[in-house]
Structure 1
Amino acid sequence: MKLITWNCQGAFRKKADIILLQQPDILVVQECEHPDKLVFSTTIQQPNDFLWFGDNKHKGLGVFSYSNFKFQLLDHHNEDLKIISPISVTGGQFDFTLIAIWANNRHDPDGQYIEQVWKAVNHYDHLLSGRTILTGDFNSNKIWDKEHRNGNHSAVVDKLAEKNIHSVYHRHLKQEQGKEQHPTFFLQRKKEKPYHIDYCFTSADLFDKVKYLEIGTYENWITHSDHTPLIISFDFDDKIRANS
């Protein structure tokens, strides 16, 4: 299974062909337009399933299946958390919970960015004990902890660690939070303003199946977005299928 998260910086209908060259099975896209506006050219592969969340028709959260995976929004969805969405994923080699994330709720007086993720991991605590993936644009990094004293980035990382859920990038490449060597975001599309703010966290049983991880480079992606994609490939054997 290949999972990709990418903040496309709008107009996904014009950029789908670029990211689909990576052949995702599941694609999570931030700043994706509403389905009413999402008209692809006839040459673009159509998704087999698709969910969209948000209150801005020009920029929301799209979750696409380009494989046999099917999506169902869970009844536990808290609409106050806007575009952090718990999804039941079925139809593949195994079932799991996907929490798709775009941490950007400007209407919340408690905080627009990482505070949204903090609220989500607490509200969805009961979902974090099973086979789980949380992925997307968190709009956060440990370097900004002091700016977010309640529910900051480190608090989210620690909360997930209590559930044995960890960042694939940091564990796979042995990176330290706040000292990442591979940025996923370039402020104002400037190479001299790099930050790592996009993540994929998985439960331990899924982390053990990570085959490779890739973060797109500035040179390859900056003409399309201020973010680069985070690409993770999982290799599932008979053992995990038997336990599904």
Structure 2
Amino acid sequence: MHRNQKTGKEAHIYPAMKLITWNCNMAFRKKAALILSHQPDILVVPECEHPDKLLFEPDIPQPMSILWFGTNRNKGLGIFSYTNLKLKLLRNHNTELKMIIPIAVTGPDTKFTLYAIWANNPDDPDGQYVEQVWKAIHHYDKKLTNKQTILIGDFNSNTIWDRKYRTGNHSHVVNRLEDKGIFSCYHAHFKQIQGKEEHPTFYLYKHKDKPYHLDYCFASADMIARIRSIEIGDYDHWKKYSDHVPVMVEFNDC
């Protein structure tokens, strides 16, 4: 369901759906062309400015649908649809989990639940990063099933930072999701082990010698079976624009 970047018309050349998450390190309006060249159907952008500030150049494809969340108009969580997939905030959204957003995604032949994630809530004394995801998977427990479910974004976590005696660490999140029939697309596709990833998604201070894997797309078993391709952005290409590289997951039509 990709959109032709020049004509704006939908180009159903291959029956597929591409989801991309990229923490843009702010000023998305100046960087949109870079990520849109990869033709996402849905794009999840942590550290994105408020839509009122998104003044794109005329030749930049316009999203068909936008959701945005945050208290800082320069640095929130943006979710964009670039095809006929519609985004609707679910009524069970827990506003205390500020940057974990449950969304109904619907199209002519597509329906699934998307959880857009930027695990970052400094006001929560229980933990501002992966602990937010841990709370969310319990709050949304009945909605999290092994069918038609995706969690995608910047989790700000990795099992290398697990605190052994702290409930809600990265491994707890992964194990709980796996119990629900939801798995990391990257780890399943490339047969990787949590904490030993070969492809970093984040470089501290943009330094190549400080790599970590912090950005994820988890999907229910039915969608894992439909993965067509996964791409992790190249450091040398993206380092000028952000400390994160994009995670791009393409599914056969769901």
TM-score strictly above 0.5: yes
Residue 24 of structure 2 is aligned to residue 8 of structure 1: yes
2:73 match: 57
2:34 match: 18
2:191 match: 174
Residue 140 of structure 2 is aligned to residue 124 of structure 1: yes
Q: Deviations over 1:123-156 (max 9, x none)?
A: 0111112410000000000000027812000000
Equivalent residue runs for 1:12-91 within 5 Å: 12-91=28-107
Match of 2:210 among 184, 193, 199: 193
Following TM superposition, by how much is the alpha carbon of 1:43 offset from its aligned partner in structure 2, in angstroms? Answer: 1.2
Following TM superposition, by how much is the alpha carbon of 1:92 offset from its aligned partner in structure 2, in angstroms? Answer: 4.4
Match of 1:157 among 156, 171, 174: 174
Question: Does the C-alpha gap of structure 1 residues 43 and 101 become closer, same or farther in structure 2, counting only changes over 3 Å?
Answer: same
Listed as ranges, the gaps of 5+ residues in structure 1 are none
Secondary structure at the aligned position of 1:36 is classed as helix
Of the structure 1 ranges 8-17 and 37-46, higher mean CA displacement relative to structure 2 is found in 37-46
Percent identity, aligned pairs only, is 61
Q: Deviations over 1:154-204 (max 9, x none)?
A: 000011001110000001000000000000000000000000000000000
Following TM superposition, by how much is the alpha carbon of 1:93 offset from its aligned partner in structure 2, in angstroms? Answer: 2.4
Which runs of structure 1 show a deviation greater than 2 angstroms over 4 or more consecutive aligned residues? Answer: none
The 1-side partners of 2:180 and 2:91 are apart by 22
The 1-side partners of 2:19 and 2:63 are apart by 14
Listed as ranges, the gaps of 5+ residues in structure 2 are 1-16
2:250 match: 233
The 1-side partners of 2:24 and 2:167 are apart by 29
Q: What amino acid is the match of 1:136?
A: G
Residue 205 of structure 2 is aligned to residue 205 of structure 1: no
The 2-side partners of 1:92 and 1:153 are apart by 36
The 1-side partners of 2:107 and 2:228 are apart by 21
TM-score norm. by structure 2 comes to 0.92
